[in-house]
Amino acid sequence: MSFINYSSREINCKIVYYGPGLCGKTTNLQYIYKKTSPEAKGKMISLATETERTLFFDFLPLSLGEIRGFKTRFHLYTVPGQVFYDASRKLILKGVDGVVFVADSQVERMEANIESLQNLKDNLSEQGYDFSKIPLVIQYNKRDLPNAAPTEELRNLLNPATVPDFEGVAFKGDGVFETLKAIAKLVLTELKKGK
């Protein structure tokens, strides 16, 4: 749920990066953090295990500029991808305005992608969201790997509703900002429409 403050003239929205374990959700946020100017970003918080796997969430606050005198602020979160952290994923989805589903392009991760997407649908519906209506963007990450499945195949499997989708190589930054822009735009457009 976005938060609009007329007193401070701010629009705040929450975007969650979702996807299977090790698909590159945290890497997306790290790249955004690295490439954003200091005045446009806050501190990035990672609640991770000792082996740097996300334990609860990563968090990055970002300012994207002004619309008609309102500062737009986006709070980017990632969820822990590993299957057994489902309780945490549900908590992080609370109040979400838009979702980026990061898919792992590797052929052997196809099942994990499908399972994670189904898990997203289930968890959104549990919170009262309609999956077909929530702003959603898909990123097919790890396109540089030799065992990456053809994009068309991924699209057929994961994006039957043809939401905006992008190829990505998150650690190099390919597709990262395109994905972010697309989801931010969808969220603002949804907000403009109102209820």
Q: Which residues bind other proteins (CB under 8 A)?
A: 1-8, 11-12, 14, 42-43, 45, 47, 56-57, 59, 61, 64-68, 70, 72, 75, 87-88, 90-92, 94-95, 127-130, 133-134, 181, 184-185, 188-189, 191-195
Which of 7/37 has CB closer to other proteins?
A: 7
Which of 10/144 has CB closer to other proteins?
A: 10
Which tokens sit at 28?
């997306």
> Nearest CA to 111 among 175, 23, 16?
23
Q: Hey, CA dihedral for 42, 89, 129, 18, is it positive or negative?
A: positive
Give the shortest CB-32-to-other proteins separation in angstroms: 14
**122/92 Cα distance (integer angstroms):** 14
Which of 33/70 has CB closer to other proteins?
A: 70
Give the shortest CB-164-to-other proteins separation in angstroms: 13
What is the rounded radius of gyration, in angstroms, for the C-alpha atoms of the chain? 16
Q: Are 72 and 88 in contact (CB under 8 A)?
A: no
Give the shortest CB-154-to-other proteins separation in angstroms: 25
Which of 121/185 has CB closer to other proteins?
A: 185
Give the shortest CB-180-to-other proteins separation in angstroms: 9
Which of 117/188 has CB closer to other proteins?
A: 188
Helices and strands per DSSP (H, E), number in the chain = 5, 8
Cα angle for residues 94, 99, 101 (degrees, 5° grid)? 125
Give the shortest CB-74-to-other proteins separation in angstroms: 11
> Nearest CA to 46 among 87, 9, 78?
78
